[in-house]
Structure 1
Amino acid sequence: MTDTRTDTDWLDCIKWDADGLIPAIAQDAASGRVLMVAWMNREALQLTAAEGRAVYWSRSRRKLWRKGEESGHIQVLHELRLDCDNDVIIMQVEQRGGIACHTGRESCFYKVFRDGHWQDSDPVIKNPEHIYEHKHE
């Protein structure tokens, strides 16, 4: 019997949305903290697995982006999982530099609902102007 599977058959198991995307959760492999949620298309997911680092699809810029390509804060992939409905990816990552959020915080989930409104609960580790200052040169 001939094996007719291809190297990308695992991508066919994914239930992509109408735009060909799947939500991807980045979780710190050591602490378990959710760092961010972004989107992946087929190519981004394939590159993430191949390169061992998080690659996302930017819906606003309509292009692939490797996490940390501008900030240096890359996400090294430790484990990739698919949920039971095949429509959400979760990645265990090592967040280089300890900053996942473009605001300079560890996590994009730094707002806590208290007393009827959202409050910033996590400190800024590094000023975003300093993270992205080379972009303005």
Structure 2
Amino acid sequence: METNYRKLLDQMMTPYDEMLQSLIGNHADFSKVDYLEKHSEKYGKSDANYTNRLKVLLAMYNREDRYAPHYEPIVRRLLVNEIIDRGTNSFQGIGDALYYAVFLLQGISSIVFGYSSNHSAARSSSSSTLYIPSLHFTASSPPI
């Protein structure tokens, strides 16, 4: 009997996809993924929603349209909450959710800004200027 691993993976990811779908649209509910501090005697301070953020990021990572521009605000929000968690957690390490968020945001940015991920950004001779194709920033530029 041959195992269909794609079908098995899709079955495992269904609850994660449902959580992702709840974050898309005008009535998105981020309460299950935003930073929520909890405290325990054994582990100290941690984030009650860390696992949910990781599930949503895994759902995006598993999708063929993972770099679709409509995911950008979701990934950014998850990344911000992950950074808050990393800064306040009693075990301040780098969790998998941080890696996935950065990876997805990098891919989305390459699509949105027409920037190829295998073409590295070049720093000009001035340390305050960063050149990225399709975008040009300087330290004195107004925020976008």
TM-score over 0.5 for the pair = no
Higher helix share: 2
Q: Which has the higher contact order (CA 8 A, sep 6+)?
A: 1
TM-score by length of 2: 0.26
Query: Which one has the largest radius of gyration?
Result: 2
TM-score by length of 1: 0.27
